[in-house]
Amino acid sequence: MMKDIRKRIGLEDFFFNRLADIYDAERRFMKCFAALGIAAGHDMLKEILVLNIRTTQKHLGHLSAIMERFNRDETNGRCEIVGCLTEQASDLIRDLETGSPLRDVALICLVQMIQHYKIASYGNLMSLAVELNHQKVKLLIEECLVDEKRLDFYLTEIARNFINPAAI
């Protein structure tokens, strides 16, 4: 019995540490998406990146509410992956010609790498929320996951139908 309690406390701490990490990632990626939206050449890509900032703000609100509900501090997380991806974003913006289809291809690739990180994070958090019997938390995380998958789908469609053909 005691062993089960220790495992559960450990899993719950792990869960909240991951929540704090994705909070940090979302906050920092939001700034990155603002820069990428400015750097994008294609109007549809610009629009989707700007719209994603509002979605990210919603996600930050969800994550903050979850942490507050459990008296946890969302500012304790530090997602190291963000630094690598935002550095890559800066390099792309600097190195590729402004307004070129190739730059937009590269931006979509980068944004989709970010999306896949967030999809994996939210998917894992959702599974942990279920395991920890946090049903209301699971619903908020699931909403974030659906939003991230939707953006990934839209990016694929924009790339496939507009950006990639223009780069050929």
Report the CATH superfamily, name and number, of domain 2-167: Ferritin, core subunit, four-helix bundle (1.20.1260.10)
* Residue 3 pLDDT: 53
Q: Which residue has the higher pLDDT, 66 or 4?
A: 66
Give the pLDDT confidence of 124-145 residue by residue, as tens digits: 999 999 999 999 999 999 999 9
The C-alpha torsion from 36 through 100 and 98 to 55, rounded to 10°, is -10
Give the pLDDT confidence of 86-118 residue by residue, as tens digits: 888 788 888 888 888 999 999 999 999 999 999
State the pLDDT confidence band at 2, using cuts at 50, 70 and 90.
very low
Give the pLDDT confidence of 24-40 residue by residue, as tens digits: 999 988 888 888 899 99
Annotated domain spans of the chain:
2-167
